[in-house]
Structure 1
Amino acid sequence: MSDLLFVYGTLRKGNSNQMAEYLSTHATFLTGGWFRGRMYQISFYPGVIASDQMEDRIYGEVYRLHDAQTSLAVFDAYEECSVAHAQPAEYQRVQAHIDAIDGNASVQAWIYLYQWPVADKVLIKEGDFMKRLLQA
């Protein structure tokens, strides 16, 4: 099981919530990175879907989880995609290719992808939830 997690929304640095705090104490920040996808404003949080378009980038952070099995179970519950939640869940945890911001590395990391329709959601064109928060 991979111990790398890519986060792009409410778990990123600069957020003050219980789960962002959990991540900061149960993982080590490795690098900023990006994923080929599109980001949508779902509610007070974003959702990301994969894209095959070269210009579609989602920016976030890569972390190494100290205890991947335990932490991923906690995050699955937070994202309401564990086996205990109704399916199809809003999010699905999958392995994805993540590129480092500096371009020097790429890794396979877990990411939570949005699974519900986005037709009525606003596209976050810049692909960066933290920039979006600062502009609000």
Structure 2
Amino acid sequence: MSDLLFVYGTLRKGNSNSMAEYLSTQAEFLTQGRFQGRMYQISYYPGVLASGNANEQVCGEVYRLHDAQATLSILDEYEECSSQDVQTAEYKRVTTRIDGLDGNVFEQVWIYLYQWPVTEQRVIKTGDFMQMLQKA
């Protein structure tokens, strides 16, 4: 099981919520990174879909989890995609490639991808949720 996690929304540094604080105590920040995807404004949080367009990049952070299994179990509940959720989950945790801004390429990194329809959602063209919050 990979112990790397890429976060792009409410779990990023600079957010003042209990789960962002939890992640900061359960993981080591490695680097800023990018994922080839498209970001949408879902509510007060974003959702990301993978993209085939290399120009669509999502900004985020790569963390090394101290106890991957335990931490991911807690985060799965937060993202409402644990095995106990009966409906089609809003997010799905998958592994993917992340390009670190430090020059490293991470091949097996966990990310939470959005699964519900986005036809009514606004695209965040910069792919940077924190930048969008600062402008709001």
Q: TM-score, normalised by structure 2?
A: 0.98
CA distance in 2, matches of 1:110, 1:75: 11
Q: Which amino acid is the alignment partner of residue 106 of structure 1?
A: V
CA distance in 1, matches of 2:53, 2:91: 21
Q: Which amino acid is the alignment partner of residue 105 of structure 1?
A: N
1:117 aligns with 2:123: no
CA distance in 2, matches of 1:134, 1:101: 21
Which runs of structure 2 are paired with 1:1-136 in the superposition (5 Å)? 1-102=1-102, 104-107=103-106, 108-136=108-136
The count of corresponding residues between Structure 1 and Structure 2 is 135
CA displacement 1:102-121 (0-9 Å, x = unmatched): 3x111020000000000000
Structure 1's unaligned 5+ residue stretches are: none
CA displacement 1:43-62 (0-9 Å, x = unmatched): 00000000010100000000
Q: Which amino acid is the alignment partner of residue 124 of structure 2?
A: I
Deviation at 1:101, TM superposition (A): 1.5
CA distance in 2, matches of 1:23, 1:100: 19
Q: Which amino acid is the alignment partner of residue 4 of structure 2?
A: L
Structure 2's unaligned 5+ residue stretches are: none
CA RMSD, Structure 1 to Structure 2 (Å): 0.6
CA displacement 1:74-98 (0-9 Å, x = unmatched): 0000000001112310000000100
Q: TM-score, normalised by structure 1?
A: 0.98
> 4+ residue runs of structure 1 moved beyond 2 angstroms?
none
